[in-house]
A and B are shown apart, each in its own frame.
Chain A
């Protein structure tokens, strides 16, 4: 099977890869680009562990084909912090102990960043529905939601 050449931007840097037509963006990120921060919990769009931001929208990278990345701007968990400076969402997840095993955490942080980029002042209900596609089996979501609301407040300067 011949591979397709894709030119894209990942975490602000130009990137190129060769992909077979059926490969998912998640497989490309994890296996070709060695960005293993995005996780596979289901491969069917039901858990959100593979969430990345593509042209400003949060998507399940397991449901996106590698070829669809052509010309797109992709942000993964590895691109959320600014060097050693954690993004406020990452910091608040740590301060609120919003993770136990941490497997859902990359997807939740990416999805939360996308939420706050779009809606800096979500209600708790809005946050819960926005994140309803990101499963966490460990925490019961309590501390996650607190971290999200606190990060939103900090980013608004409230």
Chain B
């Protein structure tokens, strides 16, 4: 059943206080590092001091001899996992690579790579023990830059890595893990018909998700091999699956408990600490707690790729794009798996193109293995294509929104990555941008305005949700989706809407791996869509059952009962003259009418509607310092249906802010020794309150008919347009095309000087 008519909705679309809100404003919410168990030990990791080296030997004897040290583990304490591709997290993952990322085996591949771990009675003893572990390295040449890593003769990270996706497959190993290609039509011929061609080369630096909560877990393994994991992650079923694989355990012997999660943005879709804490707990028979420092987070987790994006666009004089081409080279970090494929698939998806070709390369180098980051790949590739669109508009003398409108994807457009798009709302975002007062507001000296658009697929997938009617008529919901930004609220709202009761009557919780059916992790903007679908269907089944119970109480057929405003009522005069029965009335009699009223539904949700966004950015540039200030920002997005509009706006604002940081400040800076030079918030500067203007979030609602309430994923697409929107604004203010991010003050100063 669907509830697409907005006028009929009483709860969905309102802005109630979130159910977990009070815990989070009073300090009561329990996050990863807040967990403690009796007898707990402290686990800590020893990390590589080289960017690339062979591990000759590890001597742990002195550390083990230290009083208070209970265990030391190295890769020898983990099974040697064979190469096996799986899809557990937010993208494909090779279990062998994951295992070797968690604990280096034979070789360290980046500065900060874990090589050994200790469990001790105190943090100080653990630190002292780490200092006593003697690792002998044979230092190898390293490579950091993506294009350097692709060159023949570059230091090779993996001797068994042969480029996939090229025919014939090379016989020599290299750092190019994969070549991918997506194409429609005949691009080379189409470029010959163009009146105008623009070409550009754009680069972005790796940036970290920079969630404020560092990774943390407590793991306890009993003498019978039963393990319990408390950790902060985007999916406790993912944590369970990875730990089971990496330690050779059965899933049913691991219970993974979700703690509150202090931000993830994709970065908590894989494991780092949990398998290590598990190994330490197994050896000691005691619970082990591990918490990363901020430095660990920067050196050894995330970030997303930096990339090189080469773009070529050809258009007719009237602005019709006749050919488009992009070549993307993405850094994967130490193991294959950059988001170059989604980068390729998204970068032209806003446009209706007949002749288009996108080629991507996944390249390893001596950096931490990348993790998903909000719309993985799309901001990087779209920075290139949307900067090029701006150049094309300039060359044609066309308004940039007009140029986009002329070429915009619409229902029926076949995307280069395969599907034909349906129920999309891209054009409405462009029209809204054009009509928005921001777009025509006057600009002052040194000020400029940029626009850019973006696309993200959004996904569905497996989710479970259960709805329980309690004895007093209140309702409990359990889902398997960690609540990273208010999803408990949207789950409770959809359930309340179906049952016709106030949202406050519904208490949602996030269940652990033993209390609710399998649920894929929180990522891909899937929770409101897929888990929301499971909860909605469970609530509908409960509603049907409530009618059956009312029919029993009245002794009439169930078809003669209707559900209205949270009450069972007779369907008509013929059904009999009974007084309405409330949920509480029915619940109290449940024992006599058939027992508890509950429903659990598991779905593999299909039909997630893609998200489109168009952003407008105003900046002011200080020519003396090269400092760029964002003055005004408007983010327009097709959200399908906003279940809780405030949290939808929050996703849009947060994504835009991260994109602004990516554009202006954030970057991984490496020194000559291959060490990250800025592993802290002082030198890796994320936007702070005084850097930002208000961000106006404009929600367009083009409902997705494949979701009961019309919802589309909203969390990811808002990070896609800002990189180019900011760069296009800087160009408008200065006349300078800043093709290399971040547009930091020294870089912009240098560009002024070079002019």
- Residue ranges of A at the interface with B (Cβ–Cβ < 8 Å): 30, 35-44, 46-47, 49, 76-78, 80-81, 86, 90, 93-97, 99-106, 109, 125, 127-129, 131-146
Most chain B CB within a 10 A radius of its CB, from A127, A137, A140, A141: A140
Asked if B31 and A39 sit within 8 Å, CB to CB, the answer is: yes
Q: Which residue of chain B is the closest to A146 with respect to CB atoms?
A: B694
Asked if A139 and B654 sit within 8 Å, CB to CB, the answer is: yes
Partner of B263, one of A43, A97, A138: A138
B260 CB, nearest partner CB in chain A, Å: 7
Q: Which residue of chain A is the closest to B484 with respect to CB atoms?
A: A101
Q: Which residues of B contact A134 (CB under 8 A)?
A: 688-689
Q: Which residues of B contact A141 (CB under 8 A)?
A: 657, 687-689, 692
Q: Which residue of chain B is the closest to A106 with respect to CB atoms?
A: B27
Asked if A137 and B210 sit within 8 Å, CB to CB, the answer is: yes
Partner of A132, one of B265, B680, B681, B690: B690
Q: Which residues of B contact A106 (CB under 8 A)?
A: 25, 27
Asked if B15 is at the interface of the complex by the 8 Å CB criterion, the answer is yes
Partner of B25, one of A40, A94, A146: A94
Asked if B750 is at the interface of the complex by the 8 Å CB criterion, the answer is no
Partner of A135, one of B209, B264, B686, B695: B686
Asked if A37 and B28 sit within 8 Å, CB to CB, the answer is: yes
Q: List 8 additional contacts besides A43-B293, A131-B689; criterion CB under 8 Å.
A: A86-B25, A94-B18, A101-B264, A129-B689, A137-B210, A139-B653, A140-B653, A142-B695
Asked if A94 and B21 sit within 8 Å, CB to CB, the answer is: yes
Q: Which residues of B contact A44 (CB under 8 A)?
A: 294, 680-682
Q: Which residues of A contact B293 (CB under 8 A)?
A: 43
Q: Which residues of B contact A49 (CB under 8 A)?
A: 212
Q: Which residues of A contact B654 (CB under 8 A)?
A: 100, 137-140
Give the top 10 A-B pairs by smallest Cβ distance, nearest first.
A37-B27, A103-B262, A140-B657, A102-B24, A97-B646, A46-B681, A100-B485, A77-B27, A140-B653, A36-B34
Asked if A140 and B212 sit within 8 Å, CB to CB, the answer is: no
Residues 205-245 of B, flagged 1 when their CB comes within 8 A of A and 0 if not, give 00001111110000000000000000000000000000000
A99→B20 CA distance, assembly (Å):
11
Q: Which residues of A contact B260 (CB under 8 A)?
A: 101-103
Knowing A47-B681, A76-B27 touch, does A144 contact B262 (C-beta < 8 A)? no
Partner of B27, one of A35, A40, A42, A99: A35
Asked if B294 and A100 sit within 8 Å, CB to CB, the answer is: no
Most chain A CB within a 10 A radius of its CB, from B21, B33, B656: B21
Residues 1-38 of B, flagged 1 when their CB comes within 8 A of A and 0 if not, give 00000000000000101101111111111110110000
Asked if A97 and B265 sit within 8 Å, CB to CB, the answer is: no
A141 CB, nearest partner CB in chain B, Å: 5
Asked if B27 and A38 sit within 8 Å, CB to CB, the answer is: yes
Asked if B681 and A101 sit within 8 Å, CB to CB, the answer is: no
Main secondary structure of the interface of A (DSSP, over half): loop
Asked if A99 and B690 sit within 8 Å, CB to CB, the answer is: no
Partner of B214, one of A41, A133, A142: A41
Knowing A43-B294, A135-B686, A137-B686 touch, does A99 contact B694 (C-beta < 8 A)? no
Q: Which residue of chain A is the closest to B660 with respect to CB atoms?
A: A140
B645 CB, nearest partner CB in chain A, Å: 9
Within 8 A of A (CB), among B675-710: 680-682, 686-692, 694-695, 697
A101→B690 CA distance, assembly (Å):
21
Asked if B563 is at the interface of the complex by the 8 Å CB criterion, the answer is no
Partner of A138, one of B20, B291, B650: B650
Partner of A96, one of B214, B263, B265, B646: B646
27 contacts across the A-B interface (CB closer than 8 A): A36-B34, A37-B27, A39-B262, A40-B214, A43-B293, A44-B681, A44-B682, A46-B294, A78-B26, A86-B26, A94-B18, A94-B21, A96-B646, A97-B647, A101-B263, A128-B689, A129-B689, A132-B690, A137-B212, A139-B650, A139-B654, A140-B653, A140-B656, A141-B657, A142-B649, A142-B695, A145-B694
Q: Which residues of B contact A90 (CB under 8 A)?
A: 25-26
B538 CB, nearest partner CB in chain A, Å: 25
B688 CB, nearest partner CB in chain A, Å: 4
A113→B27 CA distance, assembly (Å):
15
Knowing A44-B681, A137-B211, A137-B212 touch, does A99 contact B25 (C-beta < 8 A)? yes
Asked if A97 and B682 sit within 8 Å, CB to CB, the answer is: no
Q: Which residues of B contact A139 (CB under 8 A)?
A: 650, 653-654, 657
Asked if A101 and B485 sit within 8 Å, CB to CB, the answer is: yes
A136 CB, nearest partner CB in chain B, Å: 7
A96→B22 CA distance, assembly (Å):
13
Asked if B688 and A135 sit within 8 Å, CB to CB, the answer is: yes
Q: Which residues of A contact B653 (CB under 8 A)?
A: 139-140, 142-143
Asked if B305 is at the interface of the complex by the 8 Å CB criterion, the answer is no
A89 CB, nearest partner CB in chain B, Å: 8
Asked if B689 and A144 sit within 8 Å, CB to CB, the answer is: yes
Partner of A102, one of B17, B262, B690, B691: B262
Q: Which residues of A contact B33 (CB under 8 A)?
A: 30, 36, 39-40
A145→B657 CA distance, assembly (Å):
14
Asked if B658 is at the interface of the complex by the 8 Å CB criterion, the answer is yes
Asked if B688 and A133 sit within 8 Å, CB to CB, the answer is: yes
Asked if B261 is at the interface of the complex by the 8 Å CB criterion, the answer is yes
A19→B543 CA distance, assembly (Å):
57
B462 CB, nearest partner CB in chain A, Å: 23
Asked if B263 and A137 sit within 8 Å, CB to CB, the answer is: yes
Q: Which residues of B contact A143 (CB under 8 A)?
A: 646, 649-650, 653
Q: Which residues of A contact B681 (CB under 8 A)?
A: 41-42, 44, 46-47, 135
Q: Which residues of B contact A76 (CB under 8 A)?
A: 27
Q: Which residue of chain B is the closest to A99 with respect to CB atoms?
A: B24
Q: Which residues of A contact B27 (CB under 8 A)?
A: 35-38, 76-78, 106
Q: Which residues of A contact B22 (CB under 8 A)?
A: 86, 94
B678 CB, nearest partner CB in chain A, Å: 12
Asked if A97 and B658 sit within 8 Å, CB to CB, the answer is: no
